[in-house]
Amino acid sequence: MPCIVALIVFGIMGIFSASHRALAEEAFGCVFKRITFRPCNTGFAEKIKGKILSKLLVRSAFLAKMVNRHYEILSWIFFILMVGSTIWVGRGVYNFYVYGSCNGLNESGFCAFDPSGENNKVTSVGDDSSCGITQQSEQNVTLENINLSGFPAINTGSKDTVVFVGCYACDYSRRAYPDIKKLVENKKSNYIFAHYPAKGDTMFLGEAGYCVQKEYPEKFWEFNDYLFTADKDYVLNKSNLDEILSKFGFDVKKISDCANSAETKTAVQDQTTELKKTNLYGTPTIFINGKAFVGPKPYRVYRSAINKFIFF
């Protein structure tokens, strides 16, 4: 075991120090002999042991004596810890690449690659909605038995379907939106958009979007892009809605009458109620082939989900 440990340690140190490369070569030779069922070079093993004990003697003769007595056991313990930590780090790297978090899908524990937890932050959809809340546990978010037939959709006939649940006022939804649009365009997947009023007064935008989809379906997606990419304060100011509608050449009165009708308000409220059945706890929530991704993940995470790169 000391030879394997030495190979790894000196192999890394040898990258930066020429004095350790010779030791790395000796360690490699030792390991090669062991895996080919030949005895390791005793001199090398003793050299490593001597280096360790000489360092310890300077600090404590008692400690050096104890290490000398239990050297083989301590070597095994160190080796097991090293292998375990390597596996743990490797799993964390894999999870970060595939899920955007070292701890797994939608898990918000500390991650060295995302220390601020930006990939899992959402606008809470609870009673006390606030932007930037980091969820502490993964919820049972699902599309099972959810009726999405009334939401804006693009049907390409693909086997892949992306559902984006976002809020126009949520910074995290606005951050994720361009990546989802890119994913859908690149992968030619089916796409469903659902606005959820998680923060502030955005219900009026949902009602306007409902009417735009109804009256001008060919322009809905362009209108939706604008609401997510234009200046947020401007878009969220209700007094600017007529001006925004005019930019697209819509009949402002027709859209306004539609948006203020009892029928539209009931329909949009029913859609919001339907989304609550998913058990979503924050926006954005993106479903890719039924799997929920909560928070603005890196683009590679969404791409990997489409490419079926997820193993865990």
Q: How far apart are CA 250 and CA 257, in angstroms?
A: 13
> Does 152 sit behind a cis peptide bond, omega within 30 degrees of 0 on the bond before it?
no
Helix (H) or strand (E) holding 206, with range, is helix 203-215
Nearest alpha-carbon partner for 285 in 205, 218, 198, 226: 198
Tens-binned pLDDT, residue by residue, of the chain (312 aa): 454 444 444 444 443 445 555 555 555 556 555 555 555 555 656 666 676 778 777 888 888 788 778 767 876 776 676 667 777 777 777 777 777 777 767 766 777 777 777 677 677 676 544 555 444 445 588 999 999 999 999 999 999 999 999 999 999 999 999 999 999 999 999 999 999 998 878 999 999 999 999 999 999 999 999 999 999 999 999 999 999 999 999 999 999 999 999 999 999 999 999 999 999 988 999 999 999 999 899 999 999 998 764 444
Q: How far apart are CA 100 and CA 273, in angstroms?
A: 29
pLDDT score for 128: 47
pLDDT score for 217: 95
pLDDT score for 271: 96
Q: How far apart are CA 258 and CA 206, in angstroms?
A: 12
User: For the packed helices 220-229 and 203-215, what is the interaxial angle rounded to 10 degrees?
Assistant: 160
pLDDT score for 94: 75
Q: How far apart are CA 271 and CA 147, in angstroms?
A: 9
Unique residue bearing structure tokens 């989809």: 213
Strand-pairing partners, residue 287, are: 163, 292
- What is the pTM for the complete model shown? 0.68
pLDDT score for 125: 75
Q: How far apart are CA 183 and CA 170, in angstroms?
A: 20
Q: Which residues in 173-271 belong to E strands, given as ranges? A: 190-195
pLDDT score for 145: 92
Angle CA 32–33–37, to nearest 5: 120
All structural domains of the chain:
2-94 (no CATH), 121-306 (3.40.30.10)
